[in-house]
Structure 1
Amino acid sequence: MKKVIILLLLFSLLTQTYSQRKVQRETTPSRPQTSGEFSGGLGMSWFDGKPYYLLNISPEIAFGKIGVGLDVNLRIGVNDGKIRKEDWNEPYDFLRAIRYVRYGLKGDPFYARLGALDYARLGHGTIVYYYKNNASYDDRKVGLEFDVDFGKFGFESVVGDLKRIGVWGLRGYVRPLKFTPAGDIPIIGNLELGATYATDLDKNALAHYDPVKREIVRDWDRPDIVGFDIGLPIIRSKIFGWDIYFDYVKFLNYGSGIAYGSNFEFRGLGILNIGAKIERRNFGDQFLPSYFNYFYEIERFNLRDTVNATSKLQELRNAKKTAGTYGELIFTILGQLQIVGSYQQLDAIPESGTLHLDLELPQVLPTIVFDAGYDRRNIKDFGDVFRLDERSLLYAEVGYKPIKYIVISMLYQWTFKPTRVGDKTKYEVQKRIEPRVSFVFPFGGK
């Protein structure tokens, strides 16, 4: 068996793309074109200390506004020669091999994406923001984003899992002055009013541990959320963009809160692009902002041991009245180096820091490949920012290109593995390590 694997390694330096975790950052093409890459690789994977030989095929292709990405992984145990069963133990796994199919990009008049949702959002993000349906490698889901903007009105939507409908949300909006001659007035003519409804139909969204009954029960009210927002673009030009907004959000059976802020964009002729967001948040009791976020699929309900559990709904019910600030910065240099950072801190809760970092360095240094992402919640102080534990998600890949189409790299991922305990799910830290030799062959383009 090992000889066969070695022959395969020598015969086919197939793929690996770097988009298994990161946000898709394709730019909308100015004219129809075909581009993409056929990539793949052979290497090794370690899941919780157990080694596997890895064969990966992950091509991506874009034709005009249409994009398709696959992520097919075949892992064979070094010790037993068997295929890793968690990758292919149900029919749904074969559908998950299609990483995504999309039309357009978020913000286009028509946008649709089926498959992995990396950082989905609705509106200004007070309810659904940076939601990921694939925070756990072994619990990847097939979700849907679907947005249409008709000019005078439109909608945005997200469904986290088409197999068993869990998280889903819908935002409709209207630009009322566009129905009148006032719609041609600068600034005020683009006034936008929106309304959002989002919930989680997964039964575990109601789960919590009852210390009296000493068991897991599901008898709390569902986290049904409604929101109303108003947005006003102040500047819209090729170089500058600036808008202000106000959101009111209400959990139907819990608390309410408001958020108001501003978005700013600077597009510096392809040399330096800057995006910034600053938002002030004021919450009543039993309220959490951006309830459906990048940690939600793990936070929804986590059975830590046989008698204890934590849940997002429990956190919501215990939340106290407070206020806080959220900030976000995005830098893009020469269309290549991109740095994304965001942070939230609540005024009266020291252990409330939430951090998101993303760094991509694809072609700034011709022979170096670097891509990393990091998320952490419940940060206590500066010394607590970069610790890896149950409050962290991490992805990092460092590589070297000895020749144009070959990449030698090392991937490290800190994520969570779902384990079924009866009808309950327990999430445990999962460390994924993969040294790779990859072949990346781009094609098409202008």
Structure 2
Amino acid sequence: MLILKLNTMKKTFRVLLMLMMFSQVTFSQDGFESAFENENNVSANLGVTTIGDQIFIGMRVQPEFSFGKFGLGLDVPLLFNASNGEMRTEEFNNGVGVLRMVRYLSYGKKKQDPVYVKLGDMTGEQLGYGAMLGNYSNSVSFERRKVGISADVTFKEIIGLEAIYSDLNFNGSQKLFAVRPYYRPFGKSNLPIIQTIEFGASFASDKDDYEQSSIGGTISSTKFTRDGNSAFGFDVGAILLKNILLKLTWDMQYTRLNKNEALANDIQNNPGNYATYSNTNYGAGSGFATGLEAQFRFVANIFHVNARIERQWYGDNYIPQFFNFAYEINKDTRLMELIGAEKSQGIYGKLGSEILSLVKIEGELLLPDNLEDSNRGAIVGVNLQTKEIGKFRARGKYLKAQLNDLGDAFKLDQRSLANLLITYRLNRFMETGVDYQWTFAEKEDGSFRALHQVRPYIGVSIKF
């Protein structure tokens, strides 16, 4: 009997040892690379589009190239007014001008390579685990498309630095700047879990003083940021398990949104402007969150799943993912959402899958508890991308913030950003399709309004 128990213990020990060795050997491998990365193609689509009440004829030349760790994407608009033949130049006015034709220029992959740098469109960027800055975009409008920069550099597997700057337009004052130094004290060890423990400290600051001259005078949506708007946070995380099939990460985050003195003074000096608020108590706000994220890959990349679940605790005057795409639509409005925001709780969930390297779909939801009784809004996001199936291909993205009723989740309005492209390949070099955009454009008075564009087109599409 004793011998039997000893043999059983030996077998169990061997199995455990093999599992530990298996985990350690495969720990440095990353089997989660998307089949939708590193594509090379050139497209130039000729079509007709309506912007506001004007009709334009022309094309957008959009090549994408990948050379090793380098990536390049361009977006060159050549649109001509159908009534007078003039070229539309609004996309190049203000700020960085023609540099907006660079949709992105990148080196490396974030959180995979020791050096990652990206210039251009910051859509989808997040800082750290995303509680402070997540679901971010600096390109919510054609007229004010910004060229930003994002970087993540790790030194000797121990010390690292993430940084995001929203707008390389150096006229005026500092735009949104976010930085997160992080430290992996055991990064050089070979101990699973222990070697991945990471401590981070985040800071964000914005002193945007953007103003738009117009027929009606000068207007601004940055009244509260020009004297400074800031936040800071701390986080800790670790990879609990990583092998060729599964990667499981845990994290914990604390964020504090500092009191915006300009907003506080405006509430005090102009109480009539805030009469619609049931509670005008306003000050610094903070929040706490902890979550798990899992990536699963079936054998031979047949099926990928990425899932995240996060429990959040909100203090007064706090909104999770405060610096998101809605922040860049109207910074003053975003700050005013903090007024009267009361202590509560919520969840954040994200689920994505990639099937047979042909279809990639992702969905996410940030949902406060008791949404109907809460003065906080939910956030919904959907992302779809396919390779050519038959001769059809689709690519789309949808985001909506400040939701108080999930029944309105897919109704397009001032809180939405959307893009859907459906194409049909005619032959090896030609395709036709429809490009739909719900974005923001400038009105005559200098303010921005939501608008939709439906652009049927035919054009060149070449893959390499």
The alpha carbon displacement at 1:388 in A equals 1.3
Does structure 2 retain, via aligned residues, the 8 Å contact 1:355–1:376? yes
Q: Matches of 1:98 and 1:385 in 2, distance apart?
A: 32
Which of 49, 54, 68 matches 1:50?
A: 54
Does structure 2 retain, via aligned residues, the 8 Å contact 1:154–1:174? yes
Aligned to 2:13: none
Question: What are the within-5 Å matches in structure 2 for residues 61-140 of structure 1?
Answer: 61-89=65-93, 92-107=96-111, 108-140=113-145
The alpha carbon displacement at 1:104 in A equals 1.1
Tell whether 2:176 aligns with 1:171: no
Aligned to 2:390: 366
Q: Matches of 1:271 and 1:78 in 2, distance apart?
A: 48
The alpha carbon displacement at 1:25 in A equals 6.6
Aligned to 1:436: 457
The alpha carbon displacement at 1:244 in A equals 1.0
Kindly provide the CA deviation profile for residues 42-87 of structure 1, in whole angstroms up to 9, marking residues without a partner as x: 1112112421111222222211111111111111111111111313
Q: Matches of 2:164 and 2:179 in 1, distance apart?
A: 7
Q: Matches of 2:340 and 2:74 in 1, distance apart?
A: 41
Q: Matches of 1:170 and 1:131 in 2, distance apart?
A: 14
Tell whether 2:426 aligns with 1:402: yes
Structure 1 residues 91 and 345: CA distance shift in structure 2, 3 A: closer
Indicate the larger mover: 168-177 or 369-378: 369-378
Aligned to 2:247: 241
Tell whether 2:403 aligns with 1:379: yes
The alpha carbon displacement at 1:393 in A equals 1.4
Q: Matches of 2:132 and 2:58 in 1, distance apart?
A: 38
Does structure 2 retain, via aligned residues, the 8 Å contact 1:47–1:433? no
Q: What secondary structure sits across from 1:196 in the alignment?
A: strand
Structure 1 residues 199 and 297: CA distance shift in structure 2, 3 A: same
Structure 1 residues 65 and 218: CA distance shift in structure 2, 3 A: closer
Aligned to 1:336: 358
Q: Matches of 2:47 and 2:77 in 1, distance apart?
A: 11
The alpha carbon displacement at 1:102 in A equals 0.7
Q: What secondary structure sits across from 1:318 in the alignment?
A: coil
Does structure 1 retain, via aligned residues, the 8 Å contact 2:391–2:424? yes
Q: Matches of 1:255 and 1:246 in 2, distance apart?
A: 18
How many percent of aligned residue pairs carry the same amino acid?
Answer: 31
Q: What secondary structure sits across from 1:277 in the alignment?
A: strand
Q: Matches of 1:246 and 1:216 in 2, distance apart?
A: 32
Note the residue ranges of structure 1 that are not aligned, 5 or more in a row.
1-23, 30-34, 206-214, 302-310
Tell whether 2:331 aligns with 1:300: yes
Which of 137, 145, 159 matches 2:150?
A: 145
Aligned to 1:259: 289
Q: Matches of 2:208 and 2:222 in 1, distance apart?
A: 15
Count of residues paired in the alignment: 390
Structure 1 residues 416 and 26: CA distance shift in structure 2, 3 A: farther
Aligned to 1:224: 230
Q: Report which of the two structures shows the higher radius of gyration computed on alpha carbons.
A: 2
The alpha carbon displacement at 1:95 in A equals 0.9
Q: What secondary structure sits across from 2:339 in the alignment?
A: helix
Q: Matches of 1:233 and 1:106 in 2, distance apart?
A: 16
Aligned to 2:378: 353
Structure 1 residues 184 and 200: CA distance shift in structure 2, 3 A: same
Q: Matches of 1:159 and 1:437 in 2, distance apart?
A: 36
Tell whether 2:286 aligns with 1:277: no
Kindly provide the CA deviation profile for residues 241-277 of structure 1, in whole angstroms up to 9, marking residues without a partner as x: 0011111111233111101011101011311100000
Structure 2 residue identity aligned to 1:440: S
Does structure 2 retain, via aligned residues, the 8 Å contact 1:144–1:162? yes
Does structure 2 retain, via aligned residues, the 8 Å contact 1:113–1:145? yes
Note the residue ranges of structure 2 that are not aligned, 5 or more in a row.
1-32, 212-220, 260-283
Q: What secondary structure sits across from 2:167 in the alignment?
A: coil
Structure 1 residues 126 and 118: CA distance shift in structure 2, 3 A: same
The alpha carbon displacement at 1:216 in A equals 9.2
The alpha carbon displacement at 1:418 in A equals 3.4
The alpha carbon displacement at 1:396 in A equals 1.0
Q: What secondary structure sits across from 2:229 in the alignment?
A: coil
Aligned to 2:198: 192
Does structure 2 retain, via aligned residues, the 8 Å contact 1:75–1:83? yes
Kindly provide the CA deviation profile for residues 328-376 of structure 1, in whole angstroms up to 9, marking residues without a partner as x: 001111222110100011114326221000111222x131121121111
Does structure 2 retain, via aligned residues, the 8 Å contact 1:28–1:65? no
Structure 1 residues 226 and 382: CA distance shift in structure 2, 3 A: closer
Indicate the larger mover: 101-110 or 139-148: 101-110
Aligned to 2:267: none
TM-score under structure 1 length normalisation: 0.82
Indicate the larger mover: 108-117 or 273-282: 108-117
Does structure 1 retain, via aligned residues, the 8 Å contact 2:433–2:457? yes
Does structure 1 retain, via aligned residues, the 8 Å contact 2:175–2:208? yes
Aligned Cα RMSD in Å? 2.3
Kindly provide the CA deviation profile for residues 1-44 of structure 1, in whole angstroms up to 9, marking residues without a partner as x: xxxxxxxxxxxxxxxxxxxxxxx977677xxxxx6222212111
Kindly provide the CA deviation profile for residues 79-122 of structure 1, in whole angstroms up to 9, marking residues without a partner as x: 11111131344573211111111101222221101111121111
Q: What secondary structure sits across from 1:389 in the alignment?
A: coil
Q: Matches of 1:409 and 1:356 in 2, distance apart?
A: 24
Q: Matches of 2:295 and 2:222 in 1, distance apart?
A: 47
The alpha carbon displacement at 1:378 in A equals 2.7
Structure 1 segments, 4+ long, off by >4 Å, are 24-29, 215-221
TM-score under structure 2 length normalisation: 0.79
The alpha carbon displacement at 1:380 in A equals 3.3
Tell whether 2:442 aligns with 1:412: no
